[in-house]
Amino acid sequence: LSGLLAPGGRLVYSTCSIESEENDAVVAGFLARHPDWRLADKAALVPPDRFCDGAFAAAPAPRHP
């Protein structure tokens, strides 16, 4: 779907997990397959009690303006 992004649009990958294989690994795989993209921003929210999953979001962006 990254090829359908409108000029100036924003692509966001988000999960309700803090597991690396569901988050950083997926984003790294996308970036490895799409060298014309870069990681613009990412955030992980970890609950303080650790009895439930947190959340993750990453925003890749095209390297060209």
- List active site positions: 16
* Burial per residue of 46-63, b for 16 or more beta-carbon CB atoms within 10 angstroms, e otherwise: eeeeeeeebebebebeee
DSSP-based three-state secondary structure for 43: strand
